[in-house]
Amino acid sequence: MNEKEKNSLSRISSSQVFLTHLCCGLALAVGFWVAHNVYSINLISDPTNTLRLIWAIECPVVILLFSCFRKKPEKCSYLKAVARGLVGLPAGALVNVLGALALGSPVGLQYFEKTIIWSLLMSLFTFVPATSVYGSSWTDWHRIFACTKPKGSLDFMLCLPAHGAVIGAWFGAWPMPLDWERPWQDWPICVSYGAMAGYGVGMVGSFGLAVMRGGQKQIKAE
């Protein structure tokens, strides 16, 4: 790791982490609120449109926020970071779709739209922040997602919520085959709930770690 990287990592303070996560979380909440109060739909009654709405609100927030933390800001303009975030969106969605299909999400035309919109949302949770920050830097991706050895608050900020969302979605799939005949058991409702819950837990964890690390650093500095 060279000096510059260290510099870029150390730029992130715990309050920045908190604000970023808060904005992401709030965007989700606003999405739900708008869906409920303005369009009077919710995830259960109209999953496609609700997810689309949440996605539409979450998407700019995530891309614009994480583009601020782009690596090597001197070499990479803000707009470029936003652009690569936008490119990363469908790519991440594709990975999520493939994963979901391998794990057994329903195949079929009537599910096509839901799957696409769900995977776009998942892409926001998992890959888009990382593309905005690191672009296509293989080593960074490798470090965060394959080896799970994040270094610094920024890595944790990318890694924990993403893993949280995936693991949450994995657990969220478990009630699907049960015979309770509840509307929320349909694809992709409970999986989305699981993913959001996991995402939330991941964000809290990442913030907690950032605070801890900040505290340690301060002690060291003193």
Partner 1 sequence: MRGWWRLGKWTVLIMFLHIIAILIFTKGFLLTRTELAHSSRCSDLSQSPCLSSSSSCWTKPAVDRLIIVVLDALRFDFVAPSSFFEKKQPWMDRLKVLQRVALKNPSSAKIFKAIADPPTTSLQRLKGLTTGALPTFIDVGNSFGAPAIVEDNFINQLIQNGKRVMMMGDDTWMQLFPNHFNKSYPYPSFNVKDLDTVDNGCIEHLVPSLYEQDWDVLIAHFLGVDHAGHIYGVDSVPMIEKLEQYNIILEKVIEVLQNQSGPGELHENTLLLVMGDHGQTLNGDHGGGSAEEVETSIFAMSFRDLPPMPSDFDSSSCEAARNICISSIQQLDFAVTVSSLLGVPFPFGSIGRVNPELYALAVGTWNLEKYKTGNGQDKKTLEEWMQNYINVLCVNSWQVKRYIDVYSALSVIGFSSEDLFHISDLYAKAEENWSYTKNLLLYKNESFDTSLPDLKRQIDGYFNFLSYVAELARSKWTDFNLKMMGTGIGIMLLSLYVHFLAIKKVNKSYGVSLPSSRDSGISFGLIFASFIVVIRACSLLSNSFILGEGKVANFLMATTGIMSLRSSFMKKKMLLEATIFLLLTFILRIAIEVGLSKQAATSQFMSVSSSWMRGISISQPVWTYMAEIVPILALMILGYFLYKAISSCCWGIPKYVIMGTILSYLLIALHWATESNILDLAHLLKGIGKSCIPRTIYAIGLGQLSLLAFGQLFSKEDTSNYKGSLFVKMISILSACSSTIILLLGKQGALVALGSMVAGYCIMRLEGIERHTFNGAVGISSLDPLPVVQWSLLAVCLFFATGHWCAFDGLRYGAAFIGFDEFILVRQAILLTIDTFGFSHILSVFGLPLFVAWPSFFNQTEHRRSLFSIKLFQIFMMYGLITATTVTATILCVAIQRRHLMVWGLFAPKFVFDVLGLILTDLLIFLASIYYFSGEEDCMQCDRGTEIEEPFG
Question: Residues in the site for partner 1, rule: CB under 8 A?
Answer: 98-99, 101-104, 106-110, 142, 145-147, 170, 173, 177-179
**Helix and strand counts by DSSP (H, E) for the chain:** 9, 0
Looking at the Cβ atoms of 22 and 178, the one nearer to partner 1 is 178
Asked if 66 and 132 touch (Cβ cutoff 8 Å), the reply is yes
Looking at the Cβ atoms of 15 and 148, the one nearer to partner 1 is 148
Looking at the Cβ atoms of 107 and 219, the one nearer to partner 1 is 107
Q: What is the secondary structure of 80-108 as a DSSP string?
A: HHHHHHHHHHHHHHHHHHHHHHHHTPPPS
DSSP 72: S
Looking at the Cβ atoms of 106 and 214, the one nearer to partner 1 is 106
CB of 100 to partner 1, least distance (A): 10
Looking at the Cβ atoms of 25 and 202, the one nearer to partner 1 is 202
Q: Which tokens sit at 64?
A: 């614009």
CB of 96 to partner 1, least distance (A): 12
Distance CA 15, CA 181 (A): 44
CB of 161 to partner 1, least distance (A): 17
CB of 146 to partner 1, least distance (A): 4
Q: Which residues of 162-175 are buried (b: 16+ CB within 10 A; e: fewer)?
A: bbbbbbbbeebbeb
Type of residue found at 174: W
Looking at the Cβ atoms of 32 and 145, the one nearer to partner 1 is 145
Answer positive or negative: Cα dihedral of 41, 42, 45, 51.
Answer: positive
Distance CA 9, CA 27 (A): 25
CB of 173 to partner 1, least distance (A): 7
CB of 101 to partner 1, least distance (A): 6
